[in-house]
Structure 1
């Protein structure tokens, strides 16, 4: 909701009305976390290390680029990583669901399909992430990277990585529904690594994630194209569409219209029909949805993750400690 990221005084009436529900949400969420911590509720410990890449706020913050970077770095170091995900936005014919080359985003969700296409590593989707982890282990994976799931305490973890969109921060700092937080800001002090997406945070210990465009591609066949810089529309169905639109402007792309969609949402039938014959540009995550229904001049802009060496050094140092202890 937009008011989460605007000055509190502009929406004080709405916030006051929602504060009791936020207080209740906080109490329930905190009680649930403590219940798992004190073993009042059962949790699953996989026989291989688990790294959670998540956040404490709703909406996209840049988790998937961090997951992609970790998978590639782990493979380079000789690990056989697997990614598990809830598969938000998809409805699989069965669970656990193993993503493959013919999977549709409607089955497994946008991010799992994108991750599999980019990395070719095993990606297992299941709302019950513990069940997904068991399949990953059966397939021979020796490291599990969980895309989201920081609040999924039924799955025990060895390393927690919190990703924050520096542009939006933590919004008004309030818990749902008065604010965007699933847990209070104090939860960040408990994670192992903090990643700031876009620009440095106030926290001196955070690692800066930067995204670098790697070349424009056609949605239909993923072919690299050149000398296309003008578009009738730009589409973004991600957590923070403004970031994508600003990046296009910074790269010199001229877009006459901006179409913002909620995270994971598709174009409506009317929008799809209206834009079918037009030249448009979108995120790679959005392109996943339209591989078979894209117009001839629909393009997407892939990005590569850039994280500092210190991030990888800290992550793999922690990982080796966990492996040694186990």
Structure 2
């Protein structure tokens, strides 16, 4: 976590010095939102439903595991989903980029490649998500699109907006950038279709977005995967020795979540936290025989230099039953309209 991120979540008083910049940021955000609402900026509405899974704050909240869960549910229920993403951290020669399990991570970015590997559905990346959606519909037979992030990408029309909230960190000091972690004011929550708290909703007050459905989800470890061989093992007992602390390498938005998971599994570890979307190299691996554990998002960036010490903890989203019922009702509505 960077110094300013620590300040956001600890409520540092010196952040009040950034109030003028926050006011300017909020003004720009408001003007931009109004431009799309008024028609001064074009919104492309795809011929299929688009579900945006996003967040209101900077940093990781658990969006990508929920995207993977939605995709699997849709496939199990007869849909042909595809995923669109900005591809943060990647740089392709041309866009839109079609992402497969073999696409170089330097081109696709870590999250799109991870989702392509986990789900096997068509994935398209473009800084202009509406362009990614257009091409995905040309390339494939998708009848529904899931946008990984993109809550603020108003050029892409959407049928549903899901906001994922970090149950532990919440919205920090509840101020917008750069005074706080919010990309948009909290009032934006009143416009979304549902809020999903990853690990609970204790960070929300009763008056936050009254009337908007609230649900919870958890991230559940499913397997240890040997990164070099791809062989999967049960979470318990661990497939590696625990006679010494393992090295936990993390480059995600909220690394403490991974460390807390290791604590819950009673795995002693040394913490090595890097910035979100960190480009790992062999120099980041600890010297010696230490076992190395990491997230699936980080693992896709380490395939070219890993050794036999490296393990991945795969996790999946587990939404509460009430969300599944709510989600099924929304999807059934789209199915009725299409016939």
Tell me which interval the TM-score lies in, with the shorter structure as reference length. over 0.9
Which residue in 2 is equivalent to 1:216? 224
* 1:86–1:275 CA distance, 2 compared to 1 (3 A): farther
Q: Deviations over 1:167-202 (max 9, x none)?
A: 110010000001000111111121111100012334
CA contact (8 A) 1:49 1:319 kept: no
* 1:191-230 → structure 2 map (5 Å cutoff): 191-201=192-202, 202=204, 205-225=213-233, 226-230=238-242
User: Secondary structure in 2 aligned to 1:56?
Assistant: coil
Q: Deviations over 1:122-173 (max 9, x none)?
A: 0000111111111221211000000000000011111000000011100100
CA contact (8 A) 1:49 1:142 kept: yes
* 1:221-300 → structure 2 map (5 Å cutoff): 221-225=229-233, 226-230=238-242, 231-255=245-269, 257-267=270-280, 270-272=283-285, 274-275=286-287, 277-300=289-312
Which residue in 1 is equivalent to 2:141? 140
Q: TM-score, normalised by structure 2?
A: 0.90
User: Secondary structure in 1 aligned to 2:300?
Assistant: helix
Length, aligned pairs only: 320
Using the alignment, how far apart are the partners of 2:8 and 2:255 within structure 1? 16
Which residue in 1 is equivalent to 2:182? 181
Using the alignment, how far apart are the partners of 1:182 and 1:163 within structure 2? 13
- 1:310 equivalent to 2:322? Answer yes
Using the alignment, how far apart are the partners of 2:27 and 2:337 within structure 1? 34
* 1:108–1:296 CA distance, 2 compared to 1 (3 A): same
* 1:44–1:151 CA distance, 2 compared to 1 (3 A): same
CA contact (8 A) 2:197 2:215 kept: yes
> How many Å apart are 1:229 and its aligned residue?
4.9
> How many Å apart are 1:275 and its aligned residue?
4.1
Q: Deviations over 1:263-302 (max 9, x none)?
A: 1113466433x44753111111111111121121111100
| Alignment RMSD | 1.7
Using the alignment, how far apart are the partners of 1:278 and 1:295 within structure 2? 11
- 1:36 equivalent to 2:36? Answer yes
Which residue in 1 is equivalent to 2:76? 76
> How many Å apart are 1:227 and its aligned residue?
3.5
Task: Compare 145-154 and 33-42 and name the one that shifted more.
Answer: 33-42
